[in-house]
């Protein structure tokens, strides 16, 4: 009925006249609105239809173009867009669509309501104006189109709203001055329209977005910070996606987005480095300033920060300035209408601006610090790779790591204090201006008092800095020793010295602790000064104004108190600033000094590109010296010319300068005069193997791309194939710290493979065959030097005389000079030193007395391990490479599937590797950690005392402010309630009383912190030293050092004050809320929900923050680890010319660290911003309440007091949350230390009930019963049921191929590894029943890797100081070192540098022999002990051992057959089983014996040496 009426009415009114009147009747705004809405709808329809037409046309054209010859259409795949992996619909999008449909719904309701009303009116016969429906109808249509367009974005996976849609939303919003019901929805849509982002995230898998490095492939998002809008930056909402992931599950490193390019380490390093070089070049005579270089590089960021800091300072003084007006207004003085509301508005606006600028300023400062740290770390790293040898002596690797871990950190932290220098005067000037307004001329007294209190803190800061300096030095020393102990833990345990060295570290910690105590107590006194200075300043100010007779009012006093409270910050920060400036200066000087250290001479060698000349290496009149100041150079008169493709052998006695000779070719040793010229690239293999942690494949590739055929060839040439088959993960086996899970020979062969894979022109090999057995040695020589390197130039140092005949040139060195050079036969004829070396070798061979079987047999026979012997190996590689090439060419799809399978396999495999990824606790820090820390000192009895003293302090502070507000008159004319004298005395009593409680709290906190830190440190140190060897094998030293340095520093200096700070802030907050509720209890209505909201947000934030901090601390270890590793292997890295790649790796690791670090900084600011906004609203609510109360119903001075405290609310609240979060983040250090305090230890050092007899072992008989050994629970068995008996006093030789389990057996004897089954008896006592110290101190070993500790020769021979000097000299003489050491000026106190770097490897081996001679144990083990010495010295050592250890059981593992041939018994091991065990004579008579094969191989290799 109504509808027909409506239709009739419409048709009736469609005459032109009616239309005209209809349109004319509408107001202009409505007309324009209808017009715009309809226009929008038309445009939408046009765009949609046009698109359809274009699509159709496009299809027709594409079809025509793409019909190929056979007429079939070709599919177009767009590569550019990348394949969309997934589309995530965010909350923003859902809410936008909801708002659109909500507004559409309201429009329809309005239209319906109007329509129904009009129809009713018409039905009742009233005159109806139908034009009323035009506007809601047009708007309804427009919103209908809008809503469905917005929804369509989801199906189109659009990340931005179309421009038209955004304009339409904005326009419709402008049109809609409709009902309030739509206001929130429209406001949100308006915001969305301006921002333009839909809230839909599209993850593409694009070829364009190439990851920076292979490791980053998992994470392709760049942080949203880089292109966030202004609103997103101001509210920090760009970090929301990360926090929402963190709230759902623990964050992983792959969730954290990449840094923006301008925040990456590479960018910042380049800027800083170019400025530093510029400064150095500008004035070479003057020392360049590192601080200036940093400022030149990052001044823009600092300036932008300064704007926020300045604005923040200005706004923070608005509150104190306005308080007196507010108190006057409440007292009934109203100067203009609505003054109260306007004042409240000003307060609110100022607080809002202050909140936003604070967060921007702090975040900016943190980012600046991050940039400086990244750039400086990269510079220190690069310098470490280029240090000359003399500079290295003054900076040990421990120190260099400290520059990076501590000094760089400190310089980065200084960014926080950067602006304080100019802000401090500004703050003081503003404060004085406000005080002058309130207390008049007495403000001059304020200025004087302020200056006095600042000056008082300066000497304190000086003292503090002095202690800090000494603390750092002591820490450096301790860190050096710790890293040395960790590196050489195997030796310490074998020699049973670990307790001695642990005590040494505890003594060093004692020295450090002495300065720590002084530093913390002086810090406590400074804290007392901080809190007392504002009290002192206010007392002086009020005292002066009363003395001058100024009339104080409640408003003036409160304004002054609020000003003092703000002034407290700069006054408190000033000593901090002074000490921070001093500390930063110390760090800047240290790093600047390091960066200016001498580098390797650039001109030490002249490198020509390959092919320019046929001469590969030429040295003219070379004089070189490791120590340029010493009178006697290391090498002198060196003349040499090596043509391309020559093989040069270098030989000579121990300490004759062979390794130095290779160093001079590499340019490692300082050149005093002469010229060194190389043509082409070089590869270097060092004598003591340098292996990177990572897997074997990475070590061999060493940064080169993988080429399978070439890789296989290399493995073959280095005899590594068999070894890799033995490893459960093949070449993907992860190598422990410094190659710990490889045998000496395997390490050496991995090094050789690394060199060969680089395909260089010149090969420099430093005694590469000493660490491998005879068979492997000859095979290596043939396969590697004679075959793989046949057309390369090779210079090799060797002690193996048998390899010399095949050299084109032999150099004999003695005392740093080339005394002979020529071919083998020529040198023999010449006689002299070369002849001595060769004849020593012949003596050894003759002593073997071998039945002479044809060497051909052994060459072609199968090796015992089942691999084909030498003879057949030559043609194998080429055919296998052909097959491989075919495999590679076959379809890629199969290889893709294989890659996926490989990945899964790798994942499973990773679980079984020796070195596992660093573990981190997930989720909340358990309460146990807090409690364990609190109970660590005095069983926690100090905690309640700290809380009580803080509470009393807070109470007295509030009381003093209340007293001043209450006792002073309200307005100018009123009478004061007490006399001026009483007013001042009571105020000072309350104020100074409060400061004493602060002093008590500070001292208690320092006492507590010291005791707890020391207890935790000792517990961790003892736990680490008691850990079994397997722990050190599978834990990179960097991880342990990280805990002992960084985490321990946090516990020493940070956590006690964080705990104290958290307690004080909590109590202050309670005080502020208490004062506010006392005046306006209604505030509680807001405070309680606010507290709930704060706690909820804090919980939400902590979920992500905790994980971020844990990830940060884990990402720190690899940086330190790479640092230590690179400095140790600097010579190898430079030898291969790989500095650039290592530099890149370092920059990548720095970015890996900065990613989570940056996000954790932003997350803190995100939280603080929201907290402060909440508290700002609470404060505004309190102000509104005070303004709206009727005049006189509230005491103005009390209301003023509430506002004074309320001004501080947001700062206190954010500080409270911050201190809690920072405390929890720092507590993670305790959690990490706690982890290492609970390492399951090895067996006890002494078991009182089963101590061996004093003279045990008397006989020295060793029995092995069914011995089974594995390195770790999840690793395969290495020794499979070995059973044999070594009779007492006999010499036992232990031989076998590399990796057959020889060293493992020795480790089981010393119980470095506990057997998985079976037992070992020595003189009928089961060694597993003894204490470890008792066992190891009665056995003696000369290990494979000779290790010297930093210190003196005396300390190295006898660290436990059990022997007299005479005995030490005797041991030195017997070990052939007496003469060398008598020549040194310090004799027994001759210095030994880190790692014994100033002694040759052979000399270090002799020192190890000296240790054994001193110990005089009944059982002596030689583990490849003479591998690094020449045959002559080896023969000598064997003689000494025969005479000195006549009645001892001597177990010798050796690769040189002559070393074991005169043993009483020989044990041959193969793959962890006993192959043979008998006397050498019997084994040699048995034609099928393995021992015979080994001997024949050795003699056949040696038979290359003709007699003379």
C-alpha distances (whole Å) from 1465 to each of 1261, 1396, 1479 are 13, 35, 4
d(CA 187, CA 96): 11
Is 968 a residue whose pLDDT tops 80? no
Q: Are 1320 and 1326 in contact (CB under 8 A)?
A: yes
Is pLDDT larger for residue 539 or for residue 775?
539
Q: How confident is the model at residue 746 (pLDDT cuts 50, 70, 90)?
A: confident
- Taking the mean position of all CA atoms in its chain, how far away is CA 760? 34
What's the token pair of residue 1249?
């009930």
Q: What share of the chain is helix, strand, coil (3-state, %, to 5)?
A: 65, 10, 25
The closest of 1218, 1012, 1041 to 1118, measured between CA atoms, is 1041
Q: What integer pLDDT is reported at residue 510 of this predicted model?
A: 92
Report CA dihedral (846, 847, 852, 857) to the nearest 10 degrees: -100
Q: Which residues pair with 676 in a beta bridge?
A: 619
Backbone angles phi, psi at 844, to 5 degrees: -60, -45
User: What is residue 271's predicted lDDT score, i.e. its pLDDT?
Assistant: 92
| Residue 821, H or E segment | strand 817-822
pLDDT band of 66, cuts 50, 70, 90: very low
Mean pLDDT of 720-724: 83
Q: Are 1311 and 1328 in contact (CB under 8 A)?
A: yes
User: When comparing pLDDT for 68 and 120, which is higher?
Assistant: 120
pLDDT higher than threshold 50 for residue 80: no
- pLDDT greater than 80 at residue 1163: yes
Q: Residue 918: its pLDDT value, please?
A: 62
Tell me if 889 sits within 8 A of 709, measured CB to CB. Answer: no
Read off the pLDDT of each residue in 1274-1289 and give the average, rounded to a whole number. Answer: 84
> Is this model's pTM higher than 0.85 or not?
no
Q: Classify 1027 as helix, strand or coil.
A: coil
Which residues make Cβ contacts (< 8 Å) with residue 975, sequence separation at least 6?
969
Q: Bigger pLDDT: 49 or 77?
A: 49
Instruction: Take residue 1504 and report the two structure tokens written for it.
Output: 């290359």
How does pLDDT run across 1347-1391, given as a tens digit for each residue?
888 888 888 888 877 888 888 888 888 887 888 888 877 778 888
The tokens describing 921, both together, are 């606790």
| H or E element at residue 133 | none
pLDDT, residue 627, reads 80
Calculate what percentage of the chain has a pLDDT beyond 70: 83
Among 639-653, 1057-1071, 1487-1501, the minimum mean pLDDT is found in 1487-1501
Nearest of 575, 602, 662 to residue 1139 by alpha carbon: 602
Angstrom distance (rounded) from CA 432 to CA 564: 10
Residue 798 is inside which H or E element, if any? none
pLDDT band (50, 70, 90) for residue 194: low
Residue 582: its pLDDT value, please?
80
Arithmetic mean of pLDDT, 1226-1231: 83
From 248, 355, 253, select the one nearest 1100 (Cα to Cα).
248
- Could you tell me the pLDDT band of residue 70, with boundaries at 50, 70 and 90? very low
What average pLDDT does the segment 462-486 reach?
A: 85
SS (H, E, C) 691-713: CCCEEHHHHHHCCCCCCHHHHHH
pLDDT tens digits, one per residue of 866-914:
333 333 333 333 333 333 333 333 333 444 444 445 445 544 544 556 6
Strands (E), 1363-1464: 1391-1392, 1419-1423, 1449-1453
User: 1338 is written with which tokens?
Assistant: 């009665």
CA angle 995, 996, 997 (to 5 degrees): 90
Question: Cα dihedral sign for 1049, 1052, 1057, 1063?
Answer: positive
SS (H, E, C) 325-355: HHHHHHCCCCCCCCHHHHHHHHHHHHHHHHH
Distance of CA 1097 to the CA centre of its chain: 28
Q: Are 966 and 928 in contact (CB under 8 A)?
A: no
Sequence-distant (≥ 6) Cβ neighbours of residue 939 within 8 angstroms: none
User: Which run of H or E residues covers position 1401?
Assistant: helix 1401-1415
Mean pLDDT of 1019-1042: 84
What average pLDDT does range 653-672 have in this prediction? 86
Q: Look at residues 636, 641, 638 and name the one whose alpha carbon lies nearest to residue 617.
A: 641
8 A C-beta contact, residue 595 and residue 386: no
Mean pLDDT to the nearest integer, 1389-1409: 80
- In whole angstroms, give the CA distance from residue 672 to residue 663: 14
pLDDT for position 1097: 85
* Res 307 pLDDT > 90: yes
C-beta separation of 1300 from 1472 below 8 A: yes
**E strand or H helix that includes residue 1067:** helix 1055-1079
Task: Find the range with the poorest average confidence among 200-209, 337-346, 452-461, 826-835.
Answer: 200-209
d(CA 588, CA 243): 36
Q: What is the DSSP letter of 88?
A: E
Structure tokens at 1139: 């500095």
Instruction: Select the more confidently predicted residue: 501 or 1431.
Output: 501
Angle between helices 1209-1236 and 1055-1079 (to 10 degrees): 150
| Average of per-residue pLDDT across 461-473 | 84
The predicted model gives 1163-1178 an average pLDDT of 87
Give percent of the chain with pLDDT exceeding 90: 6
Residues 1436-1456: tens digit of each pLDDT: 777 778 888 888 888 888 777
Contact, 1449 vs 1289, CB < 8 A? yes
Burial 1405-1428 (b: 16+ CB within 10 A, else e): bbbbbbbbbbbebbbbbbbbbbbb
119-175 pLDDT, tens digit per residue, is 777 777 777 777 777 778 888 888 888 887 777 776 666 666 766 565 555 555 444
């Amino acid at each position: 009925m109504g509808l027909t009426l409506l239709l009739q009415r419409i048709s009736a009114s469609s005459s032109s006249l009616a239309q005209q009147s209809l349109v004319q009747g509408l107001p202009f705004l409505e007309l324009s609105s209808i017009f715009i809405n309809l226009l929008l709808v038309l445009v939408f329809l046009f765009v949609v239809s046009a698109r359809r037409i274009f699509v159709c046309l496009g299809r027709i054209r594409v079809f025509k173009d793409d019909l190929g010859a056979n007429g079939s259409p070709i599919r177009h795949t767009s590569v550019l867009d990348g394949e969309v992996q997934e589309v995530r619909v965010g909350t923003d999008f859902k809410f936008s669509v909801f708002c659109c449909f909500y507004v559409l719904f309201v429009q329809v309701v309005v239209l319906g309501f109007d329509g129904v009303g009009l129809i009713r009116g018409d039905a009742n016969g009233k005159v109806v104006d139908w034009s009323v429906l035009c506007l809601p109808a047009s708007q309804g249509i427009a919103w209908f189109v809008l809503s469905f367009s917005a929804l369509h974005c989801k199906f189109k996976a659009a990340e931005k709203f179309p421009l038209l849609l955004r304009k339409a939303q904005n326009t419709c919003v402008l049109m809609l001055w409709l009902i309030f019901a739509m206001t929130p929805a429209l406001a949100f849509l308006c915001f969305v329209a301006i921002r333009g982002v839909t809230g839909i995230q599209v993850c593409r898998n694009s070829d364009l977005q190439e990851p920076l490095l292979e490791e980053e492939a998992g994470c392709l998002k760049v942080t949203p910070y880089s292109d966030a809008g202004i609103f997103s930056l101001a509210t920090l909402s760009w970090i929301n996606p990360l926090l929402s992931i963190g709230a759902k599950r623990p964050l992983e490193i792959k969730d954290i987005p990449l840094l923006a390019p301008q925040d990456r380490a590479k960018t910042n390093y380049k800027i800083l480095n170019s400025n530093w070089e510029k400064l150095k070049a500008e004035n070479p005579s003057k020392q360049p300033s590192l601080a200036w270089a940093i400022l030149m590089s990052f001044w823009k960021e600092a300036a932008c920060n300064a704007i926020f800091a300045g604005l923040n300072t200005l706004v923070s003084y608005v509150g104190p300035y306005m308080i007196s007006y507010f108190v006057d207004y409440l007292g009934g003085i109203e100067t203009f209408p609505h003054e109260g509301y306007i004042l409240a508005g000003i307060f609110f606006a100022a607080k809002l601006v202050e909140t936003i600028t604070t967060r921007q300023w702090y975040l900016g400062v943190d980012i600046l610090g991050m940039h400086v740290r990244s750039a400086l770390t990269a510079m220190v790293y690069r310098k470490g790779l280029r240090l000359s040898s003399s500079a290295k002596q003054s900076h040990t690797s421990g120190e260099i790591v400290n520059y990076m871990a501590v000094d760089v950190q400190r310089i980065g932290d200084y960014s926080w204090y950067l602006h304080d220098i100019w802000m401090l005067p500004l703050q003081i000037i503003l404060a004085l201006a406000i005080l002058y307004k309130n207390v008049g001329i007495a403000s001059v007294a304020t200025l004087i008092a302020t200056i006095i209190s600042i000056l008082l803190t300066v000497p304190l800061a000086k003292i503090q800095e002095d202690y800090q300096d000494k603390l750092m030095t002591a820490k450096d020393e301790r860190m050096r020793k710790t890293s040395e102990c960790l590196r050489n833990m195997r030796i310490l345990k074998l020699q049973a010295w670990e307790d001695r060295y642990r005590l040494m570290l505890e003594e060093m910690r004692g020295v450090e602790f002495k300065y720590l105590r002084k530093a913390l107590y002086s810090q406590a006194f400074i804290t007392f000064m901080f809190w007392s200075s504002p009290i002192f300043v206010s007392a002086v100010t009020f005292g002066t104004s009363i003395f001058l007779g100024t009339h104080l009012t409640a408003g003036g006093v409160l304004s002054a108190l609020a000003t003092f409270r703000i002034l407290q910050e700069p006054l408190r920060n000033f000593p901090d600033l002074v000490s921070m400036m001093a500390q930063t200066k110390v760090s800047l000087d240290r790093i600047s000094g390091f960066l200016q250290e001498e580098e390797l001479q650039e001109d030490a060698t002249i490198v020509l590109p390959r092919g320019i000349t046929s001469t590969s290496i030429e040295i003219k009149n070379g004089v070189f010296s490791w120590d340029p100041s010493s009178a006697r150079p290391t090498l002198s008169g060196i003349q040499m010319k090596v043509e391309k493709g020559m093989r040069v052998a270098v030989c000579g006695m121990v300490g004759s300068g062979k390794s130095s000779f290779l160093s001079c070719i590499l340019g490692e040793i300082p050149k005093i005069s002469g010229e060194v010229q190389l043509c082409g690239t070089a590869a270097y293999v060092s004598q003591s193997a340098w292996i990177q942690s990572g897997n074997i494949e990475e070590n061999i590739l060493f940064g080169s791309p993988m080429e399978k055929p070439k890789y296989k060839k290399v493995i073959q040439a280095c005899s590594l194939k068999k070894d890799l088959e033995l490893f459960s993960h093949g070449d993907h086996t992860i190598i422990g710290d410094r190659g710990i899970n490889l045998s000496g020979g395997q390490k050496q062969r991995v090094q050789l493979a690394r060199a060969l894979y680089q395909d260089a022109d010149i090969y420099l090999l430093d005694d590469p065959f000493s660490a491998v057995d005879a068979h492997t040695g000859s095979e290596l020589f043939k396969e590697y030097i004679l075959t793989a390197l046949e057309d390369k130039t090779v210079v090799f140092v060797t002690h193996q005389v048998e390899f010399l005949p095949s050299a084109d040139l032999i150099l004999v060195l003695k005392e740093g000079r080339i005394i002979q050079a020529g071919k083998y036969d020529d040198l023999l004829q010449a006689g002299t030193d070369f002849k001595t070396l060769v004849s020593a070798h012949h003596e050894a061979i003759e002593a073997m007395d071998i039945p002479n079987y044809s060497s051909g047999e052994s060459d072609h026979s199968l090796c015992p391990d089942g691999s084909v012997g030498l003879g057949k190996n030559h043609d194998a590689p080429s055919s296998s490479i052909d097959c491989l090439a075919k495999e590679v060419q076959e379809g890629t799809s199969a290889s893709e599937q294989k890659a996926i399978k490989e990945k899964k396999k790798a994942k499973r495999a990773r679980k079984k590797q020796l070195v596992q990824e660093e573990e981190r606790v997930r989720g909340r820090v358990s309460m146990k950690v807090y409690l364990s820390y609190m109970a660590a000192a005095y069983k926690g009895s100090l905690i309640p005392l700290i809380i009580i003293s803080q509470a009393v302090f807070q109470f007295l502070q509030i009381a003093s402010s209340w007293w001043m507000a209450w006792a002073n008159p309200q307005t100018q004319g009123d009478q004061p309630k007490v006399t001026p004298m009483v007013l001042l005395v009571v105020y000072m009593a309350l104020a100074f009383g409060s400061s004493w409680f602060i002093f008590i709290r500070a001292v208690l906190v320092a006492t507590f912190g010291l005791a707890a830190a020391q207890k935790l440190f000792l517990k961790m140190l003892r736990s680490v030293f008691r850990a079994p060897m397997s722990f050190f094998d599978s834990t990179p030293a960097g991880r342990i050092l990280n805990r002992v340095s960084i985490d321990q520093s946090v516990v020493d200096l940070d956590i006690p004050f964080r705990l104290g700070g958290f307690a004080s802030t909590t109590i202050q907050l309670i005080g502020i809320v208490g004062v506010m509720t006392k005046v306006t209890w209604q505030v509680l209505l807001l405070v309680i929900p606010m507290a709930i909201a704060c706690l909820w947000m804090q919980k939400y934030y902590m979920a992500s923050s905790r994980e971020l901090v844990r990830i940060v601390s884990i990402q720190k270890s690899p940086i330190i680890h790479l640092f230590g590793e690179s400095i140790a292997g600097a010579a190898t890295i430079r030898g291969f010319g790989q500095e650039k790649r290592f530099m890149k790796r370092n920059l990548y690791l720095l970015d890996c660290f900065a990613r989570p670090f940056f996000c954790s900084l932003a997350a803190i600011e995100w939280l603080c911003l929201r907290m402060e906004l909440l508290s700002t609203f609470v404060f505004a609510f309190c102000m509104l309440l005070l303004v709206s109360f009727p005049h006189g119903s509230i005491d103005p001075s009390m209301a003023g007091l509430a506002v004074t405290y309320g001004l501080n609310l947001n700062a206190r609240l954010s500080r409270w949350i911050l201190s809690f979060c920072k405390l929890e983040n720092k507590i993670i250090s305790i959690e990490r230390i706690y982890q290492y305090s609970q390492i399951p230890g090895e067996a006890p050092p002494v078991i009182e009930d089963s101590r061996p007899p004093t003279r045990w072992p008397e006989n020295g008989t060793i029995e092995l019963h069914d011995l089974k050994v594995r390195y770790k629970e999840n690793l395969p068995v290495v020794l499979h049921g070995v059973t044999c008996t070594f009779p007492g006093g006999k010499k036992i030789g232990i031989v076998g191929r590399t990796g057959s389990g020889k060293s493992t057996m020795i480790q089981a004897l010393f119980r470095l590894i506990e057997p998985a089954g079976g037992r070992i008896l020595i003189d009928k006592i089961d060694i597993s029943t003894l204490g470890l110290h008792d066992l190891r101190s009665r056995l003696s070993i000369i290990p494979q890797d000779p290790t010297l500790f930093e210190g003196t020769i005396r300390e190295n021979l006898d660290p436990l100081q059990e022997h007299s000097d005479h005995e030490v000299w005797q041991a030195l003489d017997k070990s052939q070192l007496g003469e060398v050491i008598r020549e040194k000026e310090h004799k027994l106190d001759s210095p030994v540098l880190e790692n014994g770097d100033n002694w040759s490897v052979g000399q270090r081996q002799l020192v190890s022999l000296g240790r054994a001679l001193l110990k005089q144990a009944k059982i002596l083990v030689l583990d490849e002990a003479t591998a690094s010495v020449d045959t002559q010295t080896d023969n000598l050592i064997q003689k000494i051992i025969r005479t000195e250890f006549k009645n001892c059981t001597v177990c010798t593992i050796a690769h040189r057959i002559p070393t074991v041939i005169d043993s009483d018994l020989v044990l041959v091991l193969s793959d962890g089983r006993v192959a043979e065990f008998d006397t050498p004579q019997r084994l040699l008579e048995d034609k099928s014996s393995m021992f015979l094969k080994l001997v024949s191989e050795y003699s056949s290799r040696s038979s290359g040496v003709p007699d003379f």
